[in-house]
Every structure is written in structure tokens, then in C-alpha cells.
Amino acid sequence: MNELHLVLHGVAIKKHGSAQAVADITGLKEETVAELLKQALEKGRVAEANSAYMLTPAARMALDGEYSRVYAELRGDASFAAAYDIFEAVNRDLKQVMTNWQTVEIAGKCVANDHADKDYDAAIIDRLGDFHERAEDMLDSLIAALPRISIYKDKLLSALEKAEDGEAEWVSAVKIDSYHTVWFELHEDLLRILGRQREE
């Protein structure tokens, strides 16, 4: 695969990410990503602010037009499509876990979780661990067709282990590679590869 395409694909997923952040999800060396981003910046394909990059509108359109060609074989892979269908099914389960993490029921009303109840949070983290175990076979099926996906599996496990060790922010905090953040980016990656739309 063309490395520039992969870098721009990574920028599209990160939306506003550094060279290191793009390298982390593409599997390319940070030096390679930085050089390709420099070239893309010179050609007007990305914009840069505070060492973070985003696609220009024209580059986004061009990138979207490349997916059907670059991933034609993968889109025709029945096992990959089947694994993705399972992903969508378990994705709904994760949404429920995250809803329960972010909210609690008090006196019959659903309110924001202030995370004061450590037993409640621990139970949700246990559910997240159970979810991860159920999702592993599906992730392995995706990896069999596209090895790069192993990056996400490793990140998900790392976030889960940190949450289980008491660092609760690794469940869903948006400014780190929390479990929810990594899963969201994996979903975006798969949607772009397959030309699908995110379910509301």
C-alpha cells in the first residue's frame, strides 16, 4: 500500500493528530510519517496547527475516492465482511457498557456518574473485561485479513489493563488512548476501509 495514502488515512481517523499519533495507528515509523506529512503540507493536502495535522477539504475528497481502489480486495473478502458484521453487533454492547459507565440511576432518574461509587465503577470495568474477552475472536478475524488492526487490539488490551489496575480514566477519557477512544478509532478505520456509514 502507498505509505502516503496510509498516512492521510491515519490523519482522517485522528482528525487532528500529531505525527506520533498517526504513526501509532498506522504502524509506520514516526520519522516516515513526519516526512510524508511535511510533503503533504507543502502540497496543500493537510493543514497544521500546533504540530497537529488535519486533512484539507480537497484532500479529504481525494482520499475518500481512493478507498474503493485501495481496498477492493479486502471489500471482497467474505471473512472480513463477516467479522465486521460481528463488530457492529458487539459495538452495540460496548455502547451500553459506556452508557452505564457515564451514568447512574438515582431515585429512578438517570444522572451523570460522578464516579464516587467505586464498587459501581469496578462492576462496570469487570463488564468491560468480559466484553473484551468476547470481542477477541472477532478482532483476530479482522487481523487475519488486515494485520495492521493488531495495533488496535494491543491498545485496547493496554487500556483495559490500566483501568483494571485502578486508573479509571482509561475507560473512556477522550484525551488519551482510552478503551472507548481506541474502539471509536478502530470503528472509523473499518468504516473507511469498507465504505460504510456509522450507525446512529
In 3D space, the residue among 198, 178, 142, 153 whose CA is nearest the CA of residue 27 turns out to be 153
pLDDT at 200: 60
Cα–Cα distance list, 138 to 30, 63, 67, 100, 154 (Å): 29, 27, 23, 23, 14
- 53 pairs with which residues across the strands? 17, 48
Cell of 148: 495492521
The pTM score is: 0.94
Task: Kindly indicate the confidence band of residue 198, based on its pLDDT and cuts at 50, 70 and 90.
Answer: confident
Cell of 75: 471489500
Pairwise CA distance, residues 18 & 65, whole Å: 24
Architecture of domain 3-70: Orthogonal Bundle (1.10)
pLDDT tens for residues 113-156? 999 999 999 999 999 999 999 999 999 999 999 999 999 999 99
